[in-house]
Amino acid sequence: MLGISAISVEELRSALLQRHPTTLLTELHIALLRRLVDDEPSDVLMECADGGDGLSGRVALFNPLVSSSHQLLTLVPPTATMLEPGTWAEVLRWFLIQSGVEGEPILQDAVQALHTTEYSQLLILHKVAILSRMVEEVLSSSSFRQRLIHNMERKQELLAQESREESQRKTARREAKQHKQEQVAAAAAANDKELLMVPKHHEDQEQVALPPPEEYDYEDDQVEDGDAEATQLLQRPSASQRQRAKQEAERKHQLQELRKQRLRASGKLNEATARKDLVALAEGIKLGRASRMEGKTRGALWRFPELSAALTLHAELIERQKAEAALRDRRARLAECPVRHEALGRDRWRRRYWWFPSEPSRLYIETPADADAVAKEKSTESSGKRARGKVSWSSKKGKASASSKAVPPTAVGSRWHYYRSRHELHQLVSSLDERGIREGALRRALQQEMGTMLNDFSAERVPLFAEQAWLEAGPHVGARIRQYFAGVGASEGTVVGYLPPDGADMALWHILHDDGDQEDLEESELEEAMRRVGEAPRDGLQDTQEVSSDWQNQNVPPKQRITQKMLGLLGLQAELLLLVDQLMSAMQAAGSDFVTADSAVGVVMWRSEVKSSASATQCATLLLALEGRVHALQSEPDANGLVGIMEGKALDSGIDQAELRPEEDHVGGSGGGGRCGWSCVAAGRKGECGARVLSFEGKRLWPCFQARQRWREQVGASITTAQVALGAHSFRDHAAVFGLINGRNMLLKAAANRCVAVWDVS
């Protein structure tokens, strides 16, 4: 529904922990914001004028308190066209401020930090709080609710259709069974032996016996005697005797070859059966039949046990494959109308079990933060050496205690760990009480998904923690450690077990990681891991980009995907260089000395400084210098801020029908004192008001000098790359309407609309 690819828990966790901007969080936040902002400025202002109940209707057109305290470039709702890889963080800040963060101290701190800090460098708690608010806003939006209602209705139709089809299948099976019983009864009444010999059910297989003894007789003890007899016969002159000896030797040779073939087929069948490999089973069955491992004797079917077991398993795997295909088809049809992903169920301790389609190789367990529920939890998870993945294990130690003081949900939440092996999955299902209401429903849900889950889960069996002689008291037990893992990043944990040295075996320490993983460390490894704790950054963020950097939004064409070069300072530098490239042709035609000047003061030097800039503040200074060069091309002086404001008229309506009301003339003063708005593009009717009408048609870069002054003040005070990028976006729109950037009429009209929306309140 958001138009982005599935995101695994590990990918999201890694992206949130990164100190550098990531494509994953950029794509995710832009997708969420697109659901919450309007497409065009005209729609924004129409909703404001009509008093709409959406986000735009809740935002005041003029809020000086917000302007002075948060220094927002735009005070009216931003549009979807302003959502770019470099600007989305500032649009996000606008949204959070205007939607209200009162009563949420963590979110308030996050918004305040976002004013002076790059989003990627926010505390992990602030990132989670912002993301939670965004998800809540999207879920509560009217468009999303309508989509959910539609999906719910569609899902109910699909479930009803499945119920009807299953009812029809049951009816067909019942009628077939009844018909068979009637046939048998009729045959018994007519004493028809042929009909009575038919199996009771069509699905019944033929009775298969073991091979007769002669099938195991390869005449091994007669091979040497036969060879000697054949040698003697071949020395005799009788041709018939030589022929019989030759035939006998050939027959015994064929028996030995048959034995070798059967041994080879039996070995392949046993191996394929143990591995439950469908392809290997099919090859083994073909080889077994070619080596005569089944046949008939006096009309009775016989078969070697290895082949019978393989055929039975092959049929079961085929049926399981069909069931899995039907289940995948069902999931695909239900995925077209998503409503909400729900947990598989709860156990007796009210732990919830989640199986996410984006991460099918793990079964997540959510343990509630309530201390009583956590205290009752029994440790049934496994432990072992970490190898190419994570092993879930729950310790009896380190239980979270509930705070007596109320804490926001984003501050203290549930504890999570997961199962990833087939052994753990089977152990879980067998431990659930099918007589219980909660555990019975969970057991049935797991059994329904078992076929698919077993294919994705690891076949590695991990030994139980309780099976080893770990001591809960000993050196370093209780110490904190910090480890780094390829593809995961940093992970912190606690030493929970100690295994003393035994002869040549070195001492081991068992580590329980905060995310539920576990591993065993030797003393040198433990000391290094404990040392890393003191070296960890205070904010808890990481500088590695291993997991999240591999994520790509597969739902959009490759050329439209956001890349790492579009983000952060590199993205801002590229944006400024693109902006000057777009301006160069028109500035050169206008005879700007910025283009014709030498490298010390001209565009060459400007480009070099942009490429070597080390902060957003330096880029802001360069953007102001570029605006000064462009503003010098203006043929008329900036106008005063005498502006009318449109009342209830969309911009795309006839400009000549715009109604303007007079406003008090503000001359001079600070950039925040005057109104600069609709007169930029709308012409008032003659004689209806005294408002001076300004024009974008090659005359003025800004609608009034107050608008320019405010823009320069905002860009000059910018601290983050998003603030500078939003200033560059606004400047590009004004330059396009000014006539310096070529574009189609519709694009120029959209740019003019955005200019008006930004400066409607200055």
Interval 314-322 mean pLDDT: 87
Q: Are 701 and 634 in contact (CB under 8 A)?
A: yes
Check whether residue 676 and residue 638 sit in a common domain.
yes
Average pLDDT over residues 385-400: 38
Does one domain contain both 452 and 473?
no
Which pLDDT value is given to residue 184? 78
- The predicted model gives 374-394 an average pLDDT of 41
Work out the average pLDDT over 361-380.
Answer: 64
Residue 61 has pLDDT above 60, yes or no: no
Mean per-residue pLDDT for 736-758? 68
> Tens digit of pLDDT for each residue in 240-272?
777 888 888 888 888 888 888 889 999 999 998
Structural domain contains residue 39: no
- In terms of average pLDDT, the best of 47-51, 482-486, 536-540, 757-761 is 482-486
> Whole-angstrom Cα distance, residue 29 to residue 18?
15
pTM of the model: 0.65
Looking at the structure, do residues 269 and 299 belong to the same domain, yes or no? yes
Residue 78 lies in a domain: no
Does the pLDDT at position 513 exceed 90?
A: no
Asked whether residue 270 falls in the same domain as residue 418, the answer is no
426 and 517 assigned to the same domain: no
Is 598 in the same domain as 526?
no
- Asked whether residue 584 is assigned to any structural domain, the reply reads yes
Q: Is the dihedral of CA 687, 690, 696, 699 positive or negative?
A: positive
Residue 440 shares a structural domain with residue 504:
no
| 673 in the same domain as 576 | yes
| 495 SS3 class | strand
Asked if 533 and 497 sit in the same domain, the reply is: yes
| Statement: residue 354 has pLDDT above 80 | yes
Instruction: Give the pLDDT band of residue 226 (cuts 50, 70, 90).
Output: low
Residue 435 domain-assigned (yes or no) = yes
Q: What are phi and psi of 581, to 5 degrees?
A: -65, -40
Out of 289, 322, 355, a domain closes at 322
Residue 404 pLDDT > 80, yes or no? no
Same domain, 474 and 451: no
Residue 142 domain flag: no
Whether 526 is in a domain gets the answer: yes
Q: How confident is the model at residue 143 (pLDDT cuts 50, 70, 90)?
A: confident
Structural domain for 317, as ranges: 205-322
Please report which confidence band the pLDDT of residue 114 belongs to, taking 50, 70 and 90 as the band edges: very high
Q: What percentage of the chain reaches a pLDDT higher than 90?
A: 15
Is 22 a member of any domain?
A: no
Give, in degrees to the nearest 5, the angle at Cα 325 between 365 and 177.
110
Q: What is the pLDDT of residue 598?
A: 62
pLDDT of residue 677: 33
What value does the mean pLDDT of the chain take?
74
Please tell me whether residues 384 and 286 are part of one structural domain: no
Domain count, the chain: 4
DSSP 524-584: HHHHHHHHHHHHS-TT--B---SSGGG---TTS-GGGS--GGGSHHHHHHHHHHHHHHHHH
Tell me, yes or no, whether 144 lies in a domain: no
The pLDDT of residue 43:
46
Strand pairing class (352-354; 345-346): antiparallel
Flag whether pLDDT at 757 surpasses 80: no
Regarding whether 318 and 221 lie in a shared domain, the answer is: yes
